[in-house]
Amino acid sequence: MADKTFPLGIDVGGSGIKGAPVDLSRGEFAAERLRIDTPEHSTPQNVIDIIAGVAETFVAQSGDRPIGVTVPAVVTHGVVRTAANIDDSWIDADAAELLRERLGRPVTVLNDADAAGVAEMQFGAGRGVPGTVLLATLGTGIGTALFVDGVLVPNTEFGHVELDGHDAESRAANSARKTEDLSWDKWAERLHRYFSHLEGLLWPDLIIVGGGVSKKSEKFLDLLDLRSKIIPAQLQNDAGIIGAAYQAELDSSR
Ligand code: BGC
Return all residues near 53 (Cβ < 8 A) that are at least 6 apart: 36
Tell me which of 18, 114, 142, 171 to substitute to probe ligand 1's pocket, judged by most ligand atoms within 8 Å of the beta carbon.
142
pLDDT, mean of residues 77-85? 93
Check if the beta carbon of residue 140 is closer than 8 Å to that of residue 213.
Answer: no
What percentage of residues in the chain have a pLDDT greater than 90?
Answer: 96
Identify the pLDDT of residue 129: 98
pLDDT band for 84, please (50, 70, 90 cuts).
Answer: confident
Q: At residue 67, does pLDDT exceed 80?
A: yes
Name the residue at shortest CA distance from atom 10 of ligand 1: 143
82 lines ligand 1 (CB under 6 A): yes
Identify the pLDDT of residue 254: 87
**21: β partners:** 8
Q: DSSP character for 58?
A: T
Tell me which of 17, 85, 155 to substitute to probe ligand 1's pocket, judged by most ligand atoms within 8 Å of the beta carbon.
85
pTM for the whole structure: 0.97
Q: Report the candidate in 208, 204, 232 with the shortest Cα–Cα distance to residue 131.
A: 204
Identify the pLDDT of residue 165: 96
Cα distance between residue 51 and residue 47, in whole Å: 6
Q: Report the candidate in 101, 79, 83 with the shortest Cα–Cα distance to residue 92.
A: 79
pLDDT, mean of residues 129-155? 97
pLDDT band for 219, please (50, 70, 90 cuts).
Answer: very high
174 lines ligand 1 (CB under 6 A): no
Tell me which of 71, 86, 111 to substitute to probe ligand 1's pocket, judged by most ligand atoms within 8 Å of the beta carbon.
111
Identify the pLDDT of residue 86: 87
Cα distance between residue 223 and residue 218, in whole Å: 9
141 lines ligand 1 (CB under 6 A): yes
Identify the pLDDT of residue 31: 98
Return all residues near 47 (Cβ < 8 A) that are at least 6 apart: 12, 17, 38, 39
Cα distance between residue 130 and residue 206, in whole Å: 9
pLDDT band for 3, please (50, 70, 90 cuts).
Answer: low
Q: At residue 1, does pLDDT exceed 60?
A: no
Task: List, for residues 100-110, the tens digit of each pLDDT value.
Answer: 999 999 999 99
DSSP reduced 3-state for 150:
coil
Task: List, for residues 177-215, the tens digit of each pLDDT value.
Answer: 999 999 999 999 999 999 999 999 999 999 999 999 999
